[in-house]
Amino acid sequence: MEPKWSPSGDWFFYYGNDKVTANSTDNSESYRHSTNKGSENQQKIHLYSVTSDELLSIDIGKETPSALTWSATDSSLYFAAQSTESTEDDDRLYEAEWKDVIQYRRRKPNYGSVIQRIDIKRKHGKLSVKIHSIKHVDFIVTELLFVLSEHKIVCVSYAPIIETLSEIELYAIDLRDTSSLIRLTNSKLFEYNLKLSTDGKHVFFLVYPVRLNNENFLSVQGRLYSIDLTNGHIAQWGKGFQGAVRDYSIRSEGGVFILGQLGTNVHVYTQQSVWESVSLLSGWHGSYRSISSSKSKQYSSVAVTYSSFEQPEEVYFTKDIDGLPWAKSLTHENQLLSTRDLPRVKLYRWSNPEDNRTIDGILHYPPGKFEHKNLPLFVLMHGGPTGGSLNQLQTSFDTWAPLAATEGWLVLEPNFRGSTGYGDKFIDEVLCEMLSRPGKDILAGVDSLISDGIADPTRLNIGGYSFGGFLTNWLITQTTRFNAAVSGAGASELVSLWGTTDFPTYGASFMCGLPWEVPEIYRKESIMNNLNKAQTPILISTGAKETRVPVDQSYILERSLTYLGVPVKLLLFPDEGHAFSNNPWHGKIKVREELKWLAQYDHLSSLGTEDLL
């Protein structure tokens, strides 16, 4: 959870506990293991005053808070935490009957969350707090939003295993009568990022659509919606925009600012009302990652985070949105990167000869070798598939193209079919061809780089994380042209992945059905069915507590390749899930070893230049 400022701006809260525990909010495991009792550590919410330099730490019990929001004043805030309503007698009776046996899918009567209010009072110069229980709900709460004008709390429900998106919806609780729970949406979409309109009557939210089995599906990109709390009407903002909505902010004078991705760039757009069209604002070429605007009608100031290929990300501020091209940098956290000899970057474009579809990619040249020829190539693929490689300077455990380029690689980041920013049809074209269609796009890009004399055909390498790992594992079964591969959190067997992932709905949507409904598609897209053709040495990395792409997928791949005599190594990172958010050393070690693996095997000449299929 991100820190949030109080209504007056005098306080902000942040979350912490006595001892950090790994993946304390990983509810998919507690769902599988229904006897899980949660953390044994005392959880705390911390409040800090920027005016008085006071720090107030509030004990909230042993359950990790999943959502927090301020009320209309600094005197109270609301939080949600996993329910702990069962009594010791209930637990004792359960354990007497079942001991340590796990009843999969069984939900205890207390399953869900308790929404509570913290009241803060100052008396004789001292602060005191009191916690009140507001309501128990039978789902996990991921977001809370206080709505003063309607005397309501709006929340987002969530399921630890997403088998149906009806479990991810918006609800409201009337604080004047908390006995009822009002369902606001039934959209079959993934709602998140709640914000309140300036009139206090509309709740805005982003959606990430996912197809449900046996239902019609329009595989659109990220979209922005609002719901009128007075009549329940839901409206889409940004209609007609062909790209993906990545973030937004409420304008103090009404309407919204939208961060919209088209191609490899994310620009700032504005829309004054739901009936008006979206307008592109003047700004810098590159990617705006987040935006925040003043809530006061007296001001129209805006803060953004921005980056581009040559410009590391910083926070920028402007007193008026019209001054965005001249925004002032508020931070210099990445100034060191500006002093380094960074890779030069350019957009590279090619066509897939199968259907003549134009594909974009980003080329990162080694420092001092811009537009040189015959360079060793490393293809680094983004996650998703509904993600995208952008015009930004970013290096993380899963996106490290600039770092690889500084090590001497020409790095290609392909925005293959399924990537956002290129229209809904571009995503739809991977349906029923989740791996094969993007894979052909990527191989066509490699062919084009070789044909143009840019890439050395004897020094080709490939890698990616999450869906990029899927594609890595797929491509080493389709060709022997790559000297080395590095795969993170990638699948190896799609049927078992559907059966063990915490998000089965997502994968099934791109496969056009369940394994027994479309077995021919699962066979056609199968990595395991073609694994005996793999010869590329591969380094596999995964979190030991991974549930999105469960760790057994990496075990299956490692064992299979070992039996086949293909050089393979598996790295398991303790206490890490899909996001590698527990220990920063793990991400560093992962990338370090991937670079070593590429260097170790790149000296080998290509095993063969012909595709296997």
What is the spatial distance between Cα 120 and Cα 69, in angstroms, rounded to a whole number? 14
How many CA atoms are closer than 13 Å to the CA of 249, on its beta-carbon side?
A: 22
- When mean pLDDT is compared over 288-292, 601-605, 609-613, the highest value belongs to 288-292
For residue 213, pLDDT beyond 50:
no
The single-letter code of the amino acid at 580 is F
* Neighbour tally for 3: CB within 10 Å: 11
Segment 421-471, tens digit of pLDDT = 999 999 999 999 999 999 999 999 999 999 999 999 999 999 999 999 999
Enclosing H/E stretch for 307? strand 302-307
Segment 471-500, tens digit of pLDDT = 999 999 999 999 999 999 999 999 999 999
Angle between helices 467-475 and 436-451 (to 10 degrees): 70
The whole-number average pLDDT for the span 576-597 is: 96
What is the spatial distance between Cα 175 and Cα 152, in angstroms, rounded to a whole number? 5
**Tokens for 377?**
């190539």
Enclosing H/E stretch for 11? strand 11-17
* Neighbour tally for 570: CB within 10 Å: 18
Kind of pairing between the strands at 223-228 and 234-237? antiparallel
What is the spatial distance between Cα 523 and Cα 530, in angstroms, rounded to a whole number? 10
Domain ranges of the chain: 1-182, 187-339, 341-602
Strand partners, 216: none
What is the spatial distance between Cα 419 and Cα 422, in angstroms, rounded to a whole number? 7
**Tokens for 535?**
């010869």
Segment 45-61, tens digit of pLDDT = 888 888 888 888 888 88
The whole-number average pLDDT for the span 139-167 is: 91
21 pLDDT band (50/70/90 cuts)?
Answer: very low
Average pLDDT of the chain? 89
How many CA atoms are closer than 13 Å to the CA of 348, on its beta-carbon side?
A: 27
How far is CA 51 from each of CA 12, 14, 46, 70, 263, rounded to the nearest angstrom? 11, 17, 16, 18, 44
CATH 2.120.10.30 corresponds to the domain 187-339: yes
* Neighbour tally for 368: CB within 10 Å: 9
Higher pLDDT, 102 or 565: 565
What is the spatial distance between Cα 580 and Cα 316, in angstroms, rounded to a whole number? 28
Please give the CATH superfamily to which domain 341-602 belongs.
Alpha/Beta hydrolase fold, catalytic domain (3.40.50.1820)
What is the spatial distance between Cα 598 and Cα 486, in angstroms, rounded to a whole number? 8
Angle, alpha carbons 178-184-185 (nearest 5°)? 145
The whole-number average pLDDT for the span 111-133 is: 88
